[in-house]
Amino acid sequence: MRKIQEVPRLRHERHLAQSAIAASCGISRCTGQDTLKRFATARLTWPMPGDLDETALDERLYPPVRLTLDVPRPDLATAQSELAEKGVTRPLLWQEYKAQHLDGLEYSAFCQRYAA
């Protein structure tokens, strides 16, 4: 039995604490917590459905990450001219950008685009 299946089994059948589960499986406590959170997010219960093989379980617990490429781009020419003004900083410009575009770039990506 894989560790990924052992974590919820120990939690629900043996009622072990997360530190005991981690020690039993040879994993960190954080990894055990993450596994239990993923089970809850995937709405899996123990015992698991019998038709759920390892591949299907992996797909449910670790769904593929979807990257969104339709992120609003900041106006970097305006940003550069505003940075020349006294008291204007990159974090301030990013906060204004983020307030207008909630799904916009995070600060590090904003700075990387500005530097490029």
Cα gap 34→81, rounded to integer Å: 45
Domain assignment present for 71 = no
Domain assignment present for 70 = no
> Residues 7, 57: one domain?
yes
Domain assignment present for 29 = yes
> Residues 55, 83: one domain?
no
Domain assignment present for 42 = yes
Per-residue pLDDT of the chain (116 residues; tens, 9 = 90+): 467 889 999 999 999 999 999 999 999 999 999 999 999 999 998 888 888 888 888 889 988 877 666 788 888 888 899 999 999 999 999 999 999 988 888 999 999 988 88
What's the pTM value of the predicted model, to 2 decimals? 0.55
Q: Which domain holds residue 54?
A: 3-61
The number of folded domains in the chain is 2
User: What's residue 38's pLDDT?
Assistant: 93
Q: Could you tell me the CATH number of the domain that includes residue 7?
A: 1.10.10
Cα gap 16→9, rounded to integer Å: 9
Cα gap 24→6, rounded to integer Å: 9
User: What's residue 1's pLDDT?
Assistant: 45
User: What's residue 67's pLDDT?
Assistant: 66
